[in-house]
Structure 1
Amino acid sequence: MRSRVLVFITLAITQIAGWGVVGILPVLASSIAKDLQIDQPTAFLGVTAMYVVMGLSAPVAGKAFARLGVKHVMLCGASVICIGLAAMGSVNSLLAYLASWCAIGFGGAMFLTTSAYAYLAEFAGNRARGMIGSLMLVTGLAGSVFWPLTAWLDHLVGWRGATQIYAGGILLLVLPLIAFSLPDVRSHPAAPVSSRTKSRKGHILWFLVAAISLNSFVTLGMEAVGIELFKALGADLSLAVGLASLMGILKVGGRLIELIGGKRWNAVRAGIFSGTMIPVAMLIPVIFGASSSAILAYIVIFGIGSGAFAVARATMPLEFYEKSDYAAAMSMIGLPMNLVNATAPPLLSFLMAAAGPSAMLSLMIVCSGAALCLMLALGHFKNHQRVSVA
């Protein structure tokens, strides 16, 4: 019990720190743009570069998890993020700036999210789903913790000093915690499976990849354009920010609901239920217009649904694969999902500016509806026999 608590606390601290230090652009973009003499949209290309590299590196990281052990790959990833942050603090050109973000993306593929979940899948066994959900719940606090801290550091020492301090934090806090607080875990070979089961594994994996990527396009995209959407629907800036913040709080609530109810239903059923809430929520303003009650209903249903689906997304592979194959499955999912994360914000922003909020919502309804159909198919595939990725 004490060992599980220590492991969870270690992963919570290091993942909050990891996502906190790479999520600095909402606060520092204006300072970076002014210093490097670029515009703010160009400064935000750093995040796009990070997600693209994270996605492309995910399969390589997955193989490394199995070959070297998750803990050692996490140490390597955190070290690369440290180097990327330190380098960013000394860049003087756009190319060097983007290169530092690419380094952070490469390190993130080895350290952020997937590695922590893969570690818990190996370490916690049957308790992994609950621990993954709990970890997802607390890591949602990264922005709340680090955005005010980053703003204070920017005022105190400038954006370059802030990135250097964060690099030092990774070096002096995160790396020692991983090295000395996490026991080594190694994957154990999965039991042999029949040829029929092997033929099913590709279908299941690609259904998972498609369903999760389509839903990520919607939920991540909404995080990026939510404030602009609410403004387009008639809210002023302060109200739009408040509505977006309320949706964020409801997402945490959705994660908590899925976590509490996780013992009563499996992750696929949770994914189907929460995946149904997302398109239903977006249909409300399309059908009923931008009235106050319609917008409030949309925010509540979408926030809770997307929060609950985030937990189901991370734990659904455990319903189909042995724990030794979890890291490989999540890494396969990570490639398209991170590429989607890189493209969704600019694409949805462009669509809303060019064709209006209804067109953007319609596209998101189609994507989330397609994801729901795939989830229903996964519910049909679900049975007592797990499959191997290998």
Structure 2
Amino acid sequence: MIGRLPLFCLGLGQLVSWGLFYYLIGGFGDLIAADLGWSLARVHGGFSAALVVMGTISPLVGRLIERHGGRPVLVAGSLAGAGGCTLLAAAHDIAVYYAAWLLLGVAMRCTLYDAAFAALARAGGPAARKPMAQITLLGGLASTVFWPLGHALAELWGWRGAMLAFAAIALASIPLHLALPRGRYQAPASAAAGTGFATPVRDARTAALLYALILTITGFLAAAMSAHMIPLLTALGVAVPVAVGIGALRGVGQSLARLAEILSGGRLSPPALNLLAVALLPASFAAAFGSGHWLAAAVAFAFLYGAGNGLLTITRGTLPLVLFDPSTYGSLVGRLLAPSFFVSAAAPLLFALVIEAWGVGAALWLCLLLALLMLAAAAVLKAQCTPAHR
């Protein structure tokens, strides 16, 4: 059982880590480009490099958490993040700038949800499902807190001074990670091997491939929508101020869906919840086609996409608890996550190339087809999950 205080500390640590590292480029990208005289592509390329680092070290980080627990890994991540922010503050050439982002890539893989989920699985076993959902509530507020904070710090000290402040906050967050329990979950001798659902051993490889496929497509769509949702809406005919407001509904849908899952007490099994979450995505992209003609369609697009993506954040952590042996959570999930980081790194550029070559309609069709592929994979995955037998 994971206590309330460690759980609150871990959730607060997620808010801080997402705000400091992942959302850094969104808050400071324009300022960095203007100061250094670089193109936005070069500046944002640092973030893509960080995602590549996340994919490269993902299996290693998973093994380290499995062997040593979450404490040392999350602490190391905060130290790497502090170093990355400090190096960014000193960056005047491309080599130093990208070196900083390599450190930030290490920080993100060691501190964000996937590392926290693995730490919770190691400490709580099957009981980690509810805590995984709970920490996403605080983590979801990261951009809401840190974009205004970063703007205020940049107004006071410039973006370089803000980076040094971010480094100090990263160091100050270390005690939050130290609140994690040290122990490893031990299943009672009389307990069933599963947690209510289990994948037959003969299908474990198929389940792993389906899980990895869902994660990879989710990562592609999330990165593409993060970079292009507002331009996509404007290209469809929605006025820019309206598109910005509608784009914000993505976060509302994400938070409300996560809250609904927590308040429901986990009535749906992770495979069933995953199927529901994935089913929202084709509906959202189908609605997007009408965005230029009906404002309600644009609202439905942003809200449904946010809701589906918000639930998928939870199921990426909870599905392995019922599909695989929880004792191997860290190393197995670390390997399965790796492709999603590489694809996410390339997604904004690939999506932009599709729009440039074939137009917004083709980009939406691509999203819809990928979402339908995810839906098929989620349906097969759920069909494989049967009640566990003693």
TM-score (norm 2): 0.91
Which residue among 251, 255, 258 is the counterpart of 1:255?
A: 258
2:296 is aligned with 1:297: no
Question: Are the equivalent residues in 2 in contact too, given 1:254–1:306 (CA < 8 A)?
Answer: no
Question: Are the equivalent residues in 1 in contact too, given 2:284–2:301 (CA < 8 A)?
Answer: yes
Structure 1 residues 197 and 270: CA distance shift in structure 2, 3 A: closer
1:218 aligns to what SS in structure 2? helix
1:366 aligns to what SS in structure 2? helix
2:232 is aligned with 1:234: no
**One-letter identity of the residue aligned with 1:283:** A
2:354 is aligned with 1:356: no
Structure 1 residues 77 and 356: CA distance shift in structure 2, 3 A: same
The Cα shift of 1:289 comes to 6.1
In percent, how many aligned pairs have the same letter? 27
Q: Deviations over 1:329-350 (max 9, x none)?
A: 3212321111122111221122
2:317 is aligned with 1:318: no
1:44 aligns to what SS in structure 2? helix
| Equivalent pairs, count | 381
Q: Distance in 2 between matches of 1:286 and 1:297?
A: 11
2:339 is aligned with 1:336: yes
2:220 is aligned with 1:217: yes
Stretches of structure 1 that go unaligned for 5 or more consecutive residues are none
For 1:128, the equivalent position in structure 2 comes to 128
For 2:8, the equivalent position in structure 1 comes to 9
The Cα shift of 1:207 comes to 1.0
For 1:47, the equivalent position in structure 2 comes to 47
Which residue among 205, 208, 220 is the counterpart of 1:202?
A: 205
TM-score (norm 1): 0.91
Q: Distance in 1 between matches of 2:309 and 2:175?
A: 34
Q: Deviations over 1:261-320 (max 9, x none)?
A: 352110110111121121122123437863223223323332322222222222111111
The Cα shift of 1:377 comes to 1.0
For 1:85, the equivalent position in structure 2 comes to 85
2:76 is aligned with 1:76: yes
The Cα shift of 1:86 comes to 1.2
Q: Deviations over 1:54-83 (max 9, x none)?
A: 111100111111222221122222211111
For 2:196, the equivalent position in structure 1 comes to none
The Cα shift of 1:177 comes to 2.8
Superposition RMSD in Å:
2.3
Which residue among 270, 275, 284 is the counterpart of 1:272?
A: 275
Structure 1 residues 200 and 243: CA distance shift in structure 2, 3 A: same
Stretches of structure 2 that go unaligned for 5 or more consecutive residues are 194-198
**One-letter identity of the residue aligned with 1:67:** R
**One-letter identity of the residue aligned with 2:116:** A
Q: Deviations over 1:19-65 (max 9, x none)?
A: 11112122211221122221122111111011110111100111111
2:332 aligns to what SS in structure 1? helix
Question: Are the equivalent residues in 2 in contact too, given 1:66–1:187 (CA < 8 A)?
Answer: no
Q: Distance in 1 between matches of 2:180 and 2:272?
A: 32
The Cα shift of 1:100 comes to 0.7
Which deviates more from structure 2 when the two are superposed, residues 30-39 or residues 146-155? 30-39
Which deviates more from structure 2 when the two are superposed, residues 26-35 or residues 15-24? 26-35
For 2:107, the equivalent position in structure 1 comes to 107
Q: Distance in 2 between matches of 1:10 and 1:246?
A: 28
Structure 1 residues 96 and 128: CA distance shift in structure 2, 3 A: same
Question: Are the equivalent residues in 2 in contact too, given 1:77–1:108 (CA < 8 A)?
Answer: yes
Question: Are the equivalent residues in 2 in contact too, given 1:190–1:322 (CA < 8 A)?
Answer: no
**One-letter identity of the residue aligned with 2:115:** S
Structure 1 residues 39 and 260: CA distance shift in structure 2, 3 A: same
The Cα shift of 1:130 comes to 1.1
2:180 is aligned with 1:182: yes
Question: Are the equivalent residues in 2 in contact too, given 1:4–1:124 (CA < 8 A)?
Answer: no
Structure 1 residues 294 and 182: CA distance shift in structure 2, 3 A: closer
Q: Distance in 1 between matches of 2:55 and 2:188?
A: 26
1:92 aligns to what SS in structure 2? coil
Question: Are the equivalent residues in 1 in contact too, given 2:215–2:337 (CA < 8 A)?
Answer: no
For 1:141, the equivalent position in structure 2 comes to 141
1:264 aligns to what SS in structure 2? coil
